[in-house]
Structure 1
Amino acid sequence: MDSGFKTLTKFALSALLAATVQGVAANAESIAKGKFLIGVGGCNDCHTPGYSESGGRLPQATWLTGNGVGFKGPWGTSYPQNLRSSAAKMSAEEWIQMARRPMLPPMPAPAIATMSDSDLIAMYDFIKSLGAAEGEAPHALPPGVEPATPYIDFVPKNL
């Protein structure tokens, strides 16, 4: 091999290594930001079974796996979905599109819809870093259908 080819090869390998290291650092930063946003957003309170009852002291391996306890109100009964299996099936762009769509209560859809794309991608990156998880929450029920699962009554009383 001539020295010009060797120099070019070394340069290309160095550039590839630098880009890889930079990408890993950026992804680690995004994952950390996503974990923070999931925490302050209270996502585990609903999407992780037993999280609230444990005072937030459940292993991360159990986080965001969906919940069979519904929220019943005038909209019917909604269930917190398994975000890990959802993220595993989506691209980052599809995740952003999902976050911008209307959602059933008690999801704070207006707050989520106003988040920046980079915030939503950070949440996506963190959830993806947890890996897919088995199991799905029940599908939402329309108004007037009595859930067969435990549920929280989200109807104001004494108004």
Structure 2
Amino acid sequence: MNPRRKKRLSLVLALVVGLGATVGLLLYALNQNMDLFYTPTELVNGKPDGTKPEVGQRLRIGGMVVTGSVERDPQSLKVSFKVADVGPAVTVNYEGILPDLFREGQGIVAQGVLIDANTVEAHEVLAKHDEEYMPPEIAEAMKKTHEPLKYSETQLQGSTDQ
């Protein structure tokens, strides 16, 4: 093999290795920042394909804030509340200032870490815009796993009594 071909081959090889390393690092970074979305029922019972989140996993959970479940610590900004869809309720713990639109009976999406099977430690809470709006992810997840329901305060309270 002449020196010119060796130089070309080493250049192509270095380019392929560099491109492979770049793609690998990109996939690793994206995987670290991926938060899966769950409804409260999927969090407790698992998704239809049988997958359940592990303790310590980052995730997003969306549902309706159960009426009467909001507990605020008078000494700090710690807040605890329950989120439910049509099944069991999940407790969300959050420390910080909640959005202005946060209310009992309203839809929210919380992003955080799973502490145990029924508890999420949130680092961000997002509230929906109005009574008719539902985030597309929540609407799609509820269509897949549940029949659509109009939520009233009595229905939300009844879902936690199970």
Instruction: Flag the structure with more relative contact order, 1 or 2, with Cα contacts below 8 A and sequence separation at least 6.
Output: 1
Question: Larger Rg: 1 or 2?
Answer: 2
* Shared fold per TM-score greater than 0.5: no
Structure 2 length as normaliser, TM-score? Answer: 0.33
TM-score, scaled relative to structure 1: 0.33
More helix by share: 1
Larger relative strand fraction? 2
